[in-house]
Amino acid sequence: MTGWGLVRKAWQAAGLALALPPMKTPLLALTALSLSLSALAAVPAAAQASTGSCEDAVACAADAALEGDSLAWDFVEGITTEVGPRQAGTEAEARGRAWAMDWLRANGFRNVADEPFQMRTWVPGGPPTARIVSPYPQDLTIVPLGNSASTGPDGLTAEVVYFPSYADLVAAPAGSLDGKIAFISHDMRPTQDGSGYGFAGPARWTGAALAASKGAVATVIRSIGTDNDRTPHTGGTGFPDGMAATPAGALSNPDADNLERMFARAGNTPITMHLTLTPEWLGETTSGNVVGEIVGSDPLLPPVLLACHIDSWWNSTGAFDDGAGCGIIAAAARNVGEAGKPLRTIRVLFAGAEEVGLFGSTAYSKAHIDEPIAVGIESDFGADRIWRIDSNFSKSNPDLYRELARSVARFGVAPSGEVASGGADLNIVRDQGGALIDLQQDGTRYFDLHHTNNDTLDKIDPQQLRQNVAVWTQVVGILANRAEPFGPAK
């Protein structure tokens, strides 16, 4: 997910967080209006509405994509149907890479390859269970979190201690959770820009480690999601080097609501849970990054890098996260190629093992750090419409930014003053200090589906998917046909 994967990584790298996470201020309507008016000051009014005609071959390709692109759908429909879930480091992810390479070759990409790397691989184990033993016996719906330890097949039974927020857990005294299960809740709300993830995410990213440092034998959290379905959200949790991992799982939001009601009703009566989670580590296995190119006419110019990630969690077919993103970038790259041979090569990177720690992004940067990248863009925030364009060169290269903003205004995309940080799989561009663009998708419903078994093909709106392809085609077409350096912000 654009930007937020990096936030997650930073929290996990920090180990035990002993203070509240910084909360990204939600986008306010007046702020957005102010930014849009400022950045569009130099954009002619005629360019802000569709004229029904196109200026050049790339613009025509973008307009055609809006009306009838089927390539992105073909990719995401195919990989979710023929491969399904693609847990990092497993044979399912390997099948996904093989399928993606066949698809790229069939659609005219050159230099298609699988670049392997090794990783420690975690798998979820058998069916997880969480049962309230007393005082209100009943089962709750739960999934293990990535990197969770196992309870063993017999499970464990312990008193549950309720923390309404991550801040409450931070404030708990050392040793206060000895022999107990921590239950961490939060109040995540849907937002267009996904900023609620930065607020609620620490409960998952470091909550289990923090609870373990205070003596907890296990941790359950309210799912980091905004839905009201009985579908828990998985995702990675982290433990600092030297700390033994403990069992950790996520309850669905309705089950977390139910557990909170139990605490309100039980008074001073302890609530006891029997928890069974049986994940395991497989040791070192192979993952990989899939790459392919639309070859440009000038091999001396650094390529335009388009990224997504090929893996998903085991409980998800990975349609929204991130099969759609791979379909979007591949469709855009091919559209630009069919509009005429671009000046720069367009390289697609389907990164492996993003969900479990950005291993593919790290491996790609390490392997190719000496190969300059002109600009990087990633699609990893679902398939709903793009509403804003950010870059990290808006001040250092305002003419290019204005050209890009003007070109996509007809698709309902607003300019902004935000500085692009790039998606999680663009480590190489950040490591090189290069140019980045964020094509911000509407995330209002993204966290209803994120890391759940509800992330399926039927959740994708074909019309919004086509708008993504149209915007990407237009932006990539401009970038791939520009010889001058893009000039990231200094």
Say yes or no: 131 and 68 in one domain.
no
Instruction: Quote the pLDDT of residue 54.
Output: 84
Instruction: Quote the pLDDT of residue 467.
Output: 98
What is the domain extent for residue 241? Answer: 127-280
CA 19, distance to chain mean position in Å, is 25
pLDDT 10s digits, 200-211:
999 999 999 999
Q: Between the ranges 30-34, 53-57, 390-394, where is the mean pLDDT highest?
A: 390-394
Question: How far is Cα 356 from Cα 368, in angstroms, rounded to an integer?
Answer: 21
pLDDT band at 487 (very low <50, low <70, confident <90, very high): confident
Read off the pTM: 0.91
CA 423, 426, 429, 435 torsion-angle sign: negative
* Cis geometry, peptide bond prior to residue 322 (ω within 30 degrees of 0): yes
Question: How far is Cα 448 from Cα 445, in angstroms, rounded to an integer?
Answer: 5
pLDDT 10s digits, 360-412:
999 999 999 999 999 999 999 999 999 999 999 999 999 999 999 999 999 99
Residue 24 counted as domain residue: no
Instruction: Quote the pLDDT of residue 434.
Output: 96
Q: Point out the least confidently predicted range of 47-56, 231-240, 400-409, 439-448.
A: 47-56
Neighbours of 170 (CB within 10 A): 17
Alpha-helical segments (H) within 149-195: 166-171
Of 231, 264, 280, which closes a domain? 280
Phi, psi (degrees; rounded to nearest 5) at 114: -110, 115
Question: How far is Cα 284 from Cα 121, in angstroms, rounded to an integer?
Answer: 6
DSSP 257-279: HHHHHHHHHHTTSPPEEEEE---
Neighbours of 53 (CB within 10 A): 8
Say yes or no: 321 and 371 in one domain.
yes
Question: How far is Cα 128 from Cα 137, in angstroms, rounded to an integer?
Answer: 17
Residue 490 counted as domain residue: no
Residue with tokens 């070859």: 295
Both tokens of 209, joined, read: 């480690």
Question: How far is Cα 91 from Cα 135, in angstroms, rounded to an integer?
Answer: 43
Say yes or no: 85 and 227 in one domain.
no
Write the CATH number for 169. 3.50.30.30
Write the CATH number for 471. 3.40.630.10
Instruction: Quote the pLDDT of residue 45.
Output: 33
Q: Residue 55: pLDDT above 50?
A: yes
